[in-house]
C-alpha cells in the first residue's frame, strides 16, 4: 500500500502519524504497519518510557523516522504537549490513531465504581481529549481513527461498563466527522472483534478463548495485524470513508 500525501505535503514528504497506546498489543502493530506504508511515526506511551524508547530505537534501526511521546491521554495538558512535540519534530500531523484504552470486566451489579471511573476516564475522556487535539491540529487531508469494540453489538455479559465507554467513543467519532465539514479530514472508528492480545486474553481460560474463536465464521481469533490493516486503510487510501464504524471482526454479528 502506498502512503498518501496530504495537500500540505509534497509527494516526497512522508505523512506523519501519532499513535496513542503505541507500545500496546494493537498499537505496536499499527505503528509497524504505518511505518511499512511509509509513514513517519510518533509512538505515544502512558507510563513505560523505556519500552517506548526501545521500540523507537528498533524502528529507527529499520530505517524508519520515529520519536516517542508520553503522557496521560485524559490530561489535556499532557496531550497538548505531546502534539506540540510531534509538530516540533516533524512540522505537522496528518494521522492520529487512538488505540489507548483499558478494559475491566464485571457484571454490572458487582462492578467496583472506582473501576468504572478509571475505565471511563481513559476510554471516554481520553478519546475526547485526543480527538479534540486532533480536530485542532490535523492538517487538511488528515485522518483520525479511534478504536471501539464489536461488543457494542454482541452485548456480552460482564462487558457492560466497557461497552458503555466504547459506545461513547463511537458517538464522539460520528459527531466529530460532521463538525469537521470542509476540512478534508476523515474521522472513523475501528471496532475489532476478539483479538489475541494480552488485553483480551487476560483472565480467560482455554475453553473461553476457544469459544470466542469459534464464534466467527472464520473460526479464529483476530490478530493485531487484522486491525492494523483496517487502520492503514482508513489512514491512507480511504478518503471517501468518513463518519463510520468499521467492524473488523471476521464476520461476528
Q: How far is CA 34 from CA 30, 50, 245, in A?
A: 6, 22, 20
Pick from 116, 84, 102: nearest CA to 21: 102
d(CA 25, CA 4): 25
Between the alpha carbon of residue 198 and those of residues 7, 63, 66, 194, the distances in Å are 38, 28, 25, 11
Which of 45, 159, 162, 247 is the catalytic position? 162
* Cα–Cα distance measured from residue 58 to residue 184, given in angstroms and rounded to the nearest whole number: 33
Q: Cell 482508513: give the residue.
A: 234
Contact by Cβ (8 Å): 137, 91: no
Torsion sign over Cα 12, 40, 234, 141: negative
**What's the per-residue H, E or C state across 27-84?**
HHHHHHHHHHCCCEEEEEECCCHHHHHHHHHHHHHCCCCEEEEECCCCCHHHHHHHHH
Block residue for cell numbers 488528515:
142
The helix (run of H) or strand (run of E) holding residue 103 is none
Has 162 been annotated as catalytic?
yes
Any idea which residues carry the catalytic annotation?
162
Amino acid at each position: 500500500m502506498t502512503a498518501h500525501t496530504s495537500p500540505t505535503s509534497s509527494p516526497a514528504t512522508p505523512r506523519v502519524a501519532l499513535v496513542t497506546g503505541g507500545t500496546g498489543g494493537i498499537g505496536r502493530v499499527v505503528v509497524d504497519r504505518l511505518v511499512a506504508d511509509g509513514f513517519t511515526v510518533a509512538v505515544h506511551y502512558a507510563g513505560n518510557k523505556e519500552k517506548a524508547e526501545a521500540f523507537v530505537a528498533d524502528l529507527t534501526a529499520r530505517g524508519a523516522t520515529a520519536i516517542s511521546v508520553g503522557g496521560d491521554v485524559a490530561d489535556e495538558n499532557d496531550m497538548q504537549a505531546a502534539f506540540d512535540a510531534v509538530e516540533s519534530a516533524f512540522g505537522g500531523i496528518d494521522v492520529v490513531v487512538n488505540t489507548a484504552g483499558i478494559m475491566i470486566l464485571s457484571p454490572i451489579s458487582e462492578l467496583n465504581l472506582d473501576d468504572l471511573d478509571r475505565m471511563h476516564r481513559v476510554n471516554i475522556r481520553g478519546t475526547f481529549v485526543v480527538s479534540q487535539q486532533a480536530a485542532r491540529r490535523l492538517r487538511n487531508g488528515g485522518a483520525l481513527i479511534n478504536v471501539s469494540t464489536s461488543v457494542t453489538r454482541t452485548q456480552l455479559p460482564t462487558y457492560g461498563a466497557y461497552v458503555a465507554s466504547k459506545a461513547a467513543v463511537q458517538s464522539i467519532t460520528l459527531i466529530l466527522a460532521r463538525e469537521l465539514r470542509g476540512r478534508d479530514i476523515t474521522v472513523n472508528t475501528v471496532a475489532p472483534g476478539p483479538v489475541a492480545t494480552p488485553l483480551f486474553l487476560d483472565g480467560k481460560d482455554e475453553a473461553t478463548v476457544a469459544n470466542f474463536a469459534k464464534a466467527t465464521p472464520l473460526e479464529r481469533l483476530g490478530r493485531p495485524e487484522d486491525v492494523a490493516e483496517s487502520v492503514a486503510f482508513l489512514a491512507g487510501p480511504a478518503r471517501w470513508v468518513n463518519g463510520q464504524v468499521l467492524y473488523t471482526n471476521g464476520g461476528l454479528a
